A and B are shown apart, each in its own frame.
Chain A
């Protein structure tokens, strides 16, 4: 780098001609005004003697969040805080710190209750500030604050233009592409500033000050360009959850290929006393496995059958009992069709098992004396076919329910929080719902 070509801003130590308070000019040669931070007196820096008093004040300046002269590094550039302005628009009060770097010029550090922004003055005119919306660097900018007048409540330090307490300025703001474009209107002159959000922690670290906090810890709503902390990579997380869910389905499909399957058909008849049927014998080896028993049958109109399963370990004679009703009921305008049903036995221990299904009919139902209750003969259902299939594998639907909840629950929760954040953000805009694009 050619050092001779680099801009140089000398620092000069001076005294306030009003109160004698010492101050340093950090942008000597650039600044045209200094407002004493001790007494508020305005000192013209353009005159030959460099410290001509314009207006003498005796009020003491408030302690600033970032004291004048403090240096801090933002985005790799060291800035010195040379001025401070406090503005009020009747609703809110905020502060604007003027930063200076001899190589990069001026920046605004804007402090609101909800957080900080770095504003870069831009020389172009992106649009007329009467427009509701426009495009800027590929982003669709939308007006969020109507043109409103604010009053300068305080101005201390060095400035490159003449400014004083009580000055009034009109401004409007637009947001788009994660940035804010604000415009100050002075007569026919429009001064645009591109604002980027900076975390309060970042400002605290940069300038060695206390963390002032940001929304939601402070302020009523987020700044227009504050990144949504809950919306961060929401779509990516939804995609990851979806991939995980599909992977789980794939694993379940793979597991369904192992195991044995047997099917047995049977025709139940009230006149036949033997109602038990051996469905099949199979072996579960190595680890516990699920057993799935599926039954389908024709119980007849408005009738039922009942299947009682006995899964017997052939080595130990231990029995596992399960049952399944097969029913079919209907009326003029309704129907309950349960002619097919599935029973799933979980974690059946290793061993060789025989499954027996006993088919029970309404005619078998005992009365109080133990004898079968006489029933009218259903001629359409004298012979009632039933088919039972047993498989030494299976998948529990509840697994998918819990998995879906575990995977997508956090995504949905984050989505709701992100939506709430955006809703709070919109609540801070002027007429957010009726703004139109260009």
Chain B
């Protein structure tokens, strides 16, 4: 169990390093369409 967990940790860190090395994000690439701006968004305060 302990060895399995250590292996799991190593895999996690390896995936983290690989994602960092290639600059991959699991939450989209940040790319947007042109001219999508409006009034900034305005205050969300109610």
Contact = CB atoms under 8 A, between A and B. Distances in A.
A322 B37 contact: no
Interface in B2-46: 2, 5-6, 8-10, 12-13, 16-17, 19-45
Contact of A362 (B8, B17, B34, B39): B39
The prevalent SS among residues of A at the interface is mixed
Contacts of B12: 244, 248, 403, 406-407
Contact of B35 (A288, A308, A406, A410): A308
Contacts of A331: 45
Contact of A399 (B6, B8, B16, B36): B16
A321 interface: yes
Given A336-B43, A346-B23, 16 more contacts: A240-B9, A244-B9, A248-B12, A255-B20, A290-B25, A304-B39, A322-B30, A326-B40, A327-B41, A347-B22, A347-B23, A360-B37, A362-B40, A396-B19, A399-B16, A410-B8
B13 A251 contact: yes
Contacts of A321: 31-34
Contacts of B43: 302, 327, 329, 336
A154 to B, nearest CB: 40
Give the interface size bracket for B toward A. Answer: 35 or more
A345 B29 contact: yes
Interface residues of A, number: 56
Q: What is the interface of chain B mostly: helix, strand, loop, or mixed? A: loop
Most chain-A Cβ atoms within 10 A of its Cβ — which of B5, B13, B16, B45?
A: B16
Nearest to B24: A347
Interface stretch (A80-88, A112-120, A156-164, A231-239): A231-239
Interface of A: 232-233, 236-237, 240-241, 243-244, 247-248, 251-252, 255, 287-291, 299, 302, 304-306, 308, 310, 320-323, 325-327, 329, 331, 334, 336, 343-348, 360, 362, 365, 393-396, 398-399, 402-403, 406-407, 410
B20 A399 contact: yes
B18 to A, nearest CB: 10
B8 A287 contact: no
Nearest to A343: B30
Contact of B16 (A241, A248, A346): A248
Contacts of A326: 40
A27 B43 CA distance: 89
Contact of A325 (B16, B34, B37): B37
Given A336-B43, A406-B12, A323 B32 contact: yes
A310 B35 CA distance: 11
A398 B5 CA distance: 22
B30 A345 contact: yes
A406 B27 CA distance: 16
A336 B45 CA distance: 8
Contact of B25 (A287, A308, A396): A396
